[in-house]
Chain A
Amino acid sequence: MRILCPYCGERDAHEFSIRGEAPMTRPVVIGVPMAEAVAALHDRRNPPGRTREFWYHGAGCRSWLLVDRDLRTHEVFGATLASGAF
């Protein structure tokens, strides 16, 4: 698996670590009912298809990325910088 980093180009996935699925909107965990906060922290859509994930390019530019990837095929469609994504 390779990830197309906006700074470094196409790099082996081994250089990155994954944080997990990115939520659709910025999660709110303060000032909301407990159930909503717990869901925001723990629940995942985990679709059998394309999804967006946070990856960290630790052995490269050290940017946090938002990666568009297919969970069925591991195909990576692209990545953008995570900062300012929401």
Chain B
Amino acid sequence: MRYSALSLAWNAATGHRFWKPAWRDAEPKPAYDVVIVGGGGHGLATAFYLAKNHGVRRIAVVEKGWIGNGSVGRNTTIIRSNYLHPANTRFYEFSMKLWEGLEQALNYNVMVSQRSILNVFHSDAQRDAYARRGNAMRIAGVDAELLDTDGVRKRYPFFDFDNARFPIRGGLLQPRGGTVRHDAVAWGYARAASDLGVDIIQNAEVVGIDIQGGRAVAVETTRGRITADRIGISVAGHTSHVAAMAGLVLPIESHVIQAFVTEAVKPLISGVVTFGAGHFYISQSDKGGLVFGGDIDGYGSYAGRGNLPVAEDVAEGGMALMPAIGRLRILRNWGGVVDMTPDGSPFIDLTPVQNLYLNGGWNYGGFKATPAAGWTFAHLLATGQSHELAAAYRLDRHATGRVIDENGQGAQPNLH
């Protein structure tokens, strides 16, 4: 399916009855070169780059529901590369560059909107920490600007600058940060992958991984058995129990992140903003609703929904930063399942089982990572070797001590 002003006009005039599906809903074949488990943003991106960058032709993405039903369609759509640790800075900046060219690469409008991200700070100590982070970013070639109070005031005059507990002292700005239309990312990668011959197989849950002589040889799905030379697990919040099908026990917990949307208002918040004295981040959708979220609930969960204490905590953060939003009504609230690791960073690695590869451990930063995760996981699946940009995301890093703990929280997954 291709779009043009003419096709839009013609389809509008004919009551939208003649639109065709953008990609092929494939039937499973008995065998593939590569089977990717999970049709989220990462799985679809992996399939696309496997076909595009590595010329692999017989690829299947096996999805238990429909593509986009997971976190790729539930997240708050923020992209940024404002990290401190070199491993993360490199990886997420590469992802940012891929976002910047993604619409051309996919020939699909994913609505990349580099409207900036601002991390507000409230004390001298926090200013120091953000200055350090900004410097680390600039050394790595990432854009960063330290704003003082007036700099923040120019952008967001309605913030509570003189809040008695959390006065605003400035902020760290990444102008290239922003948002991307999340569903369009799933659809865009799906269409581009499908055009390159990738089979996207929906309503096929992987229920078993067949291992013979230490090698993964096939997946058992609810739509039959599929053999594969290589199998890639990319199931986001479900990594633990899918990996358990191959006998693996991993340093991962499943948690719930919640998100909230208010009724629509006129343009108010031009970029993405994060509060510095609690966990609250916000942006405004193109429809006008304020989209925001905060901490994970903290207990393990596969429920895909959270509880009210976090809703209260998030609302309190919002009120401390911008009391102007206090009378808006929250229209919708939902949750999604994410992986949490002991250091908060992901895994893109080989597993102890031959021919079985893992892309998992993704939590808060998983959406913005989609292009780079797909790119580097495709490299791993095609070559059997880690891509240099993902080489730090190893499964054994807790044993070697090479942990990547952005916040310095320590090995407690629910604190990241």
Contact = CB atoms under 8 A, between A and B. Distances in A.
Interface of A: 1, 13-14, 17-18, 20-21, 34-35, 38-39, 41-48, 51, 53, 69, 71-74
Given A18-B299, A20-B413, A44 B251 contact: yes
A74 B241 contact: no
5 contacts: A13-B307, A13-B309, A38-B399, A43-B250, A72-B303
Given A18-B414, A20-B414, A38-B398, A44 B302 contact: no
B299 A46 contact: no
Contact of A42 (B241, B251, B254, B301): B251
B251 A43 contact: yes
B319 to A, nearest CB: 19
Contact of A45 (B240, B299, B301, B411): B240
Interface in B360-416: 398-399, 411-414
A66 to B, nearest CB: 14
Nearest to A17: B298
A14 B251 contact: no
A71 B250 CA distance: 17
A41 B411 contact: yes
B241 A46 contact: yes
Contacts of B250: 43-44, 46
A41 B343 CA distance: 12
Of A17, A45, A47, A71, most buried by chain B (CB within 10 Å of CB) is A71
A4 B251 CA distance: 29
B303 A46 contact: no
A74 to B, nearest CB: 6
B413 A71 contact: no
Contacts of B300: 18, 20-21, 46, 51, 53, 71
Given A38-B398, A72-B303, A74-B303, A45 B298 contact: no
B298 A35 contact: no
A24 to B, nearest CB: 11
Contacts of B413: 20, 44
B105 interface: no
B249 interface: yes
B257 interface: no
9 closest Cβ pairs, A-B complex: A46-B240, A42-B251, A38-B399, A14-B309, A48-B302, A43-B249, A18-B299, A72-B302, A42-B398
B253 interface: yes
Given A20-B253, A35-B399, A48 B414 contact: no
B303 A13 contact: no
B303 A73 contact: yes
Given A38-B398, A46-B300, 13 more contacts: A18-B300, A18-B414, A41-B411, A43-B250, A44-B250, A44-B252, A45-B240, A45-B244, A46-B254, A47-B240, A47-B241, A71-B300, A74-B307
B169 to A, nearest CB: 30
Contact of B303 (A14, A18, A53, A71): A71
Contacts of B307: 1, 13, 74
Nearest to B304: A72
Contacts of B251: 42-44
Contacts of B244: 45, 47
A21 B253 contact: yes
A44 B240 contact: yes
Interface in B279-321: 298-303, 307, 309
A73 B303 CA distance: 6
Contacts of A39: 249
Nearest to A15: B309
A39 B411 CA distance: 12
Of B300, B307, B413, most buried by chain A (CB within 10 Å of CB) is B300
Nearest to A55: B299
Contacts of B298: 17-18
Contacts of A74: 299, 301, 303, 307
A64 to B, nearest CB: 15
B380 to A, nearest CB: 22
Given A13-B309, A18-B298, A44 B303 contact: no
